[in-house]
Structure 1
């Protein structure tokens, strides 16, 4: 082969390498990652010792629906489940007599019921909603103020006096603009700018206030038995907070007597929180932690590079079914796992007298185990 041809080939290869390096290092991405320090993942030890108690899961068919992200029992004793389509299904506890209770036109990620039986729903696309027993949908709050919209509403609880608390996972990444809830959530957790908030809506005044801010993807929410405390899942940093319900506009990244970490360094990404019986609060772990992702916590530039690679290469953790229960002191009371991850992306659990219903972001059925 002539030297000229060899030089041309070498030049072309070199140019391709330069283009590839330039793309990986400098192509614009939508995140500005923040350095933080992740603890070494604990693995499946102690109260989270590996088990298979979630492996033989029973399944309820739901037709063409999928993604029962949040499941709860209504005031009428029926089971309600929020689907990816925007539908909220209603059914008897054995899965029969299924009907579409309402469709919000968005994606409900969490809901609760007020004293009158209305469903109060956190819709990632629409904000805080009220849904009457006849299925009529009303927007309660879609902004804190004129220039402070509520994108990515996620979880909600209603107190006995009617006050509504709900989480806003991110003020940076609106699911309507970034490919849906999962894609927006991945961007937020990779960035770690910690813009998640807990908000309070007062139905008497119609006003919405910030309770606490500074969460790396604020997610599941549960109410304390005394109605004075809130338990908050911080998905992006693998921990659960206890926050005073009376707090207003505190920053959990700064020291505050009104917020403390209840449970830290859990073995997966905590998603929903839901109260069960006998003081239990159920936690769902979406996926287990990935050591590769944790190793990049102090390397913002490398996390930018990740987003320039195919999504299949993102270290999001392998499928692994996992729910566990804690008390209000953060002690682990029970733990159910499925190492095979056949029921995908377990986001939470709803306890009844004889069953534990398992939430999932993308499952095509509703799972349950005897309990």
Structure 2
């Protein structure tokens, strides 16, 4: 009888904990669209990815390349490094003392912009680190994510969350709060303008042809937005692609006919089922993080044309896959990959049927 009483009391305590214990999130609840079948014209494998700079550092999350094909990346320990094109040589450029995520190298490699999740928007030149911005409109950055610079000199970058920092990244997943922003930094005035706010984790950023628009991934809404910078639609936004099969991460323009989008992980049916119910999200959030379900590791990238239509779907779901992929860039017929967790940069020759240069008509503003 005593054992039964103790067991009942323990269950009651657990129920009370998962139902009533205060948490620092305020879930809004939303219902994602049912996952659609892939309509990609080309499907392929990422099993041929080679590892460059293996064990030089962990988590080269957002990579970039200069005109010579040298590779730039930031590691978990705060280092920003430059790899030779073959990955055999690595050079330390700076130590941010934060967590460098997105990088953007100038054509000659003399200047590297860094979206540091902890330190904000940074610029590295000759080993010197300059802080360009740490807040916008009086609201500090909490999770500076990705960055790109156009020929105009203007810099576009994202702050994944203005509420939760790097130590509480999962909080935004459960809250689905509108805490992300897309911003522009003007190197002349040194001012920051907020182009879009209210994003559910603002992630990868890419400029379109002729800087007519900028794209930003909205990770927790499974979509990518287009914000027009020029033309009749200047200042307006529209969905570029929606209802993605995974969590969109960094995105990059290939310089001619489209974009490459990294998907961090596939959508989780259980999470999708919980999303409409704030009370259940709170209960799930109270589960200790060490035993919370983990995202499935699948290497996955999409090739999108200039209108956001999926042209290619490349995946690798093997246990030994290079995953998760958080950034992908195309350079001279080769794809390069970054990962927030993997201890190397990835490299793979572009499949022949994707290396042709088809003409793609683009929507105009």
Q: TM-score, normalised by structure 2?
A: 0.89
Given candidates 167, 184, 188, the residue that maps to 2:158 is 167
Say yes or no: does 1:348 pair with 2:327. Answer: yes
Does structure 2 retain, via aligned residues, the 8 Å contact 1:71–1:359? yes
Deviation per residue, 1:340-367 (Å, 9 max, x gap):
2521211121111132111111001221
Quote the offset at 1:76 in angstroms: 5.0
Say if 1:108 and 1:245 are closer, same or farther in 2 by CA, change over 3 A: farther
Q: In the alignment, is the contact (CA less than 8 A) between 2:114 and 2:123 conserved in 1?
A: yes
Cα pair 1:155 1:220 within 8 Å, conserved? yes
The reply to whether residue 188 of structure 1 matches residue 135 of structure 2 is no
Q: Is the 8 A contact 2:73 2:103 kept in 1?
A: no
Greater displacement, 290-299 / 60-69: 60-69
- CA RMSD, aligned part only? 2.1
Q: CA deviation at 1:115?
A: 7.2
Q: What is the DSSP-based 3-state SS (H/G/I as helix, E as strand, rest coil) of the residue aligned with 1:346?
A: coil
Deviation by residue 1:30-50 (Cα, 9 ceiling, x = unmatched): 21111112111225x32188x
> How do 1:1-371 and structure 2 match up within 5 A?
6=1, 8-42=2-36, 45-47=38-40, 53-75=45-67, 77-114=69-106, 117-132=110-125, 134-145=126-137, 147-175=138-166, 179=167, 184-245=168-229, 258-311=236-289, 313-340=291-318, 342-371=321-350
Cα 1:172/1:332, change in 2 over 3 Å: same
Give 1:204 deviation, angstroms.
0.8
The runs of 5 or more residues in structure 2 that have no matched partner are: 351-365
Residues 111, 124 of structure 2: 8 Å contact kept: yes
Q: Which shows bigger deviation, 306-315 or 19-28?
A: 306-315
Contact 1:211 1:246 in 2 (8 A): no
Partner Cα separation in structure 1 for residue 92 and residue 41 of structure 2: 37
User: Does the aligned pair in 2 maintain the 1:292–1:315 contact within 8 Å?
Assistant: no
After the TM superposition, which parts of structure 1 deviate over 6 Å for at least 4 consecutive aligned residues?
A: none
Counterparts of 1:158 and 1:57, CA distance in 2: 28
SS at match of 1:271: strand
8 Å Cα contact 1:293-1:316 kept in structure 2: no
Q: SS of the residue aligned with 1:226?
A: helix
Offset of residue 265 of structure 1:
0.6
Write the deviation string for residues 153-209 of structure 1: whole angstroms up to 9, x where unpaired.
11111121211111010111022xxx2xxxx33211210111100111111111112
Normalized against structure 1, the TM-score is what? Answer: 0.88
- Give the Cα separation in 2 of the matches to 1:125 and 1:355: 31
Uncovered stretches (5+) of structure 1, i.e. residues with no partner: 1-5, 248-255
Deviation at 1:330, TM superposition (A): 0.5
Residue pair 1:287, 1:316 contacting (<8 A) in 2 also: no
Between the aligned partners of 1:366 and 1:238, the Cα distance in structure 2 is 25
* Number of residue equivalences: 346
